[in-house]
Structures are given as structure tokens and as C-alpha cells.
Chains A and B, each alone.
Chain A
């Protein structure tokens, strides 16, 4: 193994860690801003998302360069493949953070909507899943990663309940249709954050154990 390869892998690791922290910060700011009804957040987050997009490109290029030049195998191969996939998942989480902020602005523009109480709980759970999936990657902890995968069902269940609640509110008061649709999107975006966290956790299981556990969720 050449010293160049070791350096490239260390640089790749530093890059993906930077992206993890940038994305986590972005989605936290987005959800906090939504709760607080902060205005002008979407534009700020959109600018930060551009930096994350640039990171995505840089890390993807680094991965391709390592594959082309060093032909890694075994653990090294799994790490490069996993970094490529995690990078794509994180980039989508960043896009969702911007979308949540945009929907938040739309809801404010439409007037108020009675906020479902459990939206806070759902957001906390989704963000906690993302945090733990990143921790599991850093610590190479397959047990924590499997725990994240299992918690996805909690968020899915909250998602269904909250959607029902929004639909019911719209049915009772037609003037809430527009803001209700925006809120519906926010709920879906938060649910997608949990899905991406699950995908990251599944990649960690592959990194640590060499087993692909995608698409192994129980039917139903």
C-alpha cells in the first residue's frame, strides 16, 4: 500500500466528515427555523446548500480518482463505495433542508395553520436518526446503524398520523388547503430525512460487515 493511497483515503475521510457536519447543521437550522417561523431562511440555506453541492462533487471525484488509480479491494473498496453513496444521501438531505425552509416561508405567506403537536417529535426523531447514522459511520458501529434502521418505522408511523391530521384539518376548514399542502410537504420532507438516515446506516452495516442489507425491510 503506497503512502499516496493512505493520504488520499485520509483526505477522503476528512472530506466526508466535513460534509456530514455541514449537512447536519443545515437540516437543524432548517427545522429550527420552521418551528420558530424564521423569515428569509430559505435564501440563506440555499447559499449554504451550494457549498454542500460543491463538496458532493469534490468527494465524488476523489472517490473516482481512488478507484481509477489504486483499484482498492476489501475494506478499502467498501469504504470508497460507501463514501460515494453516503455523499449522495447527504446531498439530498441538504436539498430537503432548503425545501423545508421554502415551504415554511410559503406557510407563513398563506397565514397560519394549526401545527400538529407531534411534528416536533417526528423532527427530533428524524434528526436524531441522522445524527446516529453519522456517528455509526464515524465509529464504524454496525449495532448503532442497525438501531437507526429500526427507528425508521417510528418516523413512518408518525408521518402517517400527521398526514391524517392535516387532511382532517383541511376537510374541516377549506381555507387551510394551501397552507395545509405546504405543511404536508414539510412532513414528507422530514420523513425523507429519516429515510436518508436509514440509507446511510445501511451503508455503514455494509462497510463494517460486508453485507448488503438494503431492501430487507419486513413487508407491510
Chain B
């Protein structure tokens, strides 16, 4: 064994986030322009403009009620499900304005998947959870579904733990496993963008660690936008961090820069715990 390998405490398969990745060279997966959002008469997002580079992780941080989750949900129009909401501005996903009324929202959510704070497995088997999306899309071939389920469970770092019990209830999995199953289910619809709303906030440190490693691996092929209240998590997993406050985007920049020398005093005060 080489000396270099002897000192590696992490298996080479666990890659984590590449901290030196220069995402400014990546084309944008999402380009939000002057986005404002209203719940009835109440404006909750003000003129947000944000560019999300392809195949990278963007963390949205800010105190409760600052609009970060609302912003995340506009990226696949989940807010459409709430009565009385409206939106102005543009949100370009791969060049197409998804705010346009003629956008097929089902197709959009296939391309822009979402993982929620609380894991939401269906009351079905592990296999059926992952195969659910492709089946709805019309896939019926058993061998194709088998391959797809295995591939997605492997990508979600869950295969080794469940390969011998694929047809047992998903609800019997631990909280961390359920969350990774939800990620596998999201991957099964072949999205290009994955939105994560505090995906590890209900998990223990070991499960959180697995989710964070998974994010680091997935971002090689997917664009990830994550909302987190955990400042260390944002600094560990993301390439770019955006700080929201009172519905406004105060500052966005490379994560290293935001966490060592932010330019805005409000950002500094928030991340150092002086308010929020």
C-alpha cells in the first residue's frame, strides 16, 4: 500500500464537495431575474436575482421567515399549490422561463426534483418507492425498472444497506435511510436539478454525514440547491452561498468568501450569530 493511501482515512469512493471547483466557469442551470413573490397582498420576496451554476451546490441561508424556502419552492413552482400566491420576474431553467403559464408543471417537477425536510416515503416497499416515478411516466418493463432502482439506490448510497430487502416496507427504514430513499426516488425521474429543503435537519450526526457526503457526490452530475439552518452544513457542502434576509437577497458569493470575509455587515452579523 502506498504511503498516500495509508494516510487516507476516507475511502476514495467518498469524494465530498470539491472545494476548489471554480463554478464561475460553469454555465448556469438556473438564472433567476428580478423575482418577487406574494402571498395574497403580502410580499415575501423582493426583486431576487440569482445565478445557480450547473453541477454545483448552492446553499440558501437566513433566519426563519426570510423567504429562502419560498424561493426554493418557486424553482419548481411548488408554490402554485398554495392559493392566492403570485410571482413576478423570471426564472430561467436551462433557458426557459418556468414562470410562463404554458410551462408543463409536471414535466418541470420531473426535471427539478425536491427533497423535503421530513422524509416522505410512500407506504409501499423500498422498490416501489423508487420505481413510482418511472411507472407514472409509463415505464413498465421489469428489467428496466430493476436496473433503474438499483442504480438510483446506489447513487443515493443506500443499495448496500437494502439490496436484500427491496420488497419490505420503506417505513421500516431508519430516518436517515428514509431520507436517502427519498433522494433515490427523486433521482429515478432523472432530474437535472435537485432542490433540498433542510434535508438533514431531523437526522443524527452520522446520518447527516452520509447525506452531506452524498450531496458531494451527486453534485458531479446534478445541480443542487439546498436550504439549511445549519451554518456549518452550508459551509461544508456548498460551493456558493446566498444569504436571505426579510425577503431580500443580501449577498451571494463563493462559500469560502462568505464564511471568511463577507462583504455585507448583515451577512457577517447573521453568520457570526449576532442576530437571527
Contact = CB atoms under 8 A, between A and B. Distances in A.
Interface stretch (A70-78, A156-164, A195-203): A70-78
B232 A1 contact: no
Contact of A72 (B262, B267, B272): B272
Contact of B272 (A74, A209, A210, A211): A74
A78 B272 CA distance: 11
B259 A73 contact: yes
Instruction: Tell me whether chain B's interface is mostly helix, strand or loop, or mixed.
Output: helix
Contacts of A211: 261
Contact of B235 (A2, A73, A210): A73
A77 B273 contact: no
Contacts of A78: 260-261
A75 B273 contact: no
B231 interface: yes
A31 B273 CA distance: 45
Interface string A59-74: 0000000000001111
B272 A1 contact: yes
A74 B271 contact: yes
B90 interface: no
Interface in B233-266: 235, 259-262
A73 B273 CA distance: 9
B274 interface: yes
Contact of B274 (A1, A71, A77, A209): A1
A73 B271 contact: yes
A4 to B, nearest CB: 12
A71 to B, nearest CB: 6
A76 B231 CA distance: 14
B268 interface: yes
A74 B273 contact: no
A38 B268 CA distance: 51
Most chain B CB inside 10 Å of its own CB: which residue of A1, A5, A71, A74: A74
Contact of B261 (A2, A71, A72, A210): A210
B272 A71 contact: no
Nearest to B276: A1
Given A1-B272, A1-B273, A74 B232 contact: no
Contacts of B272: 1, 72-76
Nearest to B274: A1
B214 to A, nearest CB: 22
A75 B268 CA distance: 7
A71 B63 CA distance: 18
26 contacts: A1-B273, A2-B273, A5-B273, A71-B231, A71-B232, A72-B272, A73-B231, A73-B260, A73-B271, A73-B272, A74-B259, A74-B261, A74-B262, A74-B267, A74-B268, A74-B271, A74-B272, A75-B268, A75-B272, A76-B272, A77-B259, A77-B260, A78-B260, A209-B261, A210-B260, A211-B261
8 closest residue pairs by CB, A with B? A210-B261, A1-B273, A73-B259, A74-B268, A73-B271, A76-B272, A74-B272, A74-B271
Given A74-B262, A74-B271, A77-B260, 14 more contacts: A1-B272, A2-B273, A5-B273, A71-B232, A72-B272, A73-B231, A73-B272, A74-B260, A74-B268, A74-B272, A75-B272, A77-B259, A78-B260, A210-B261
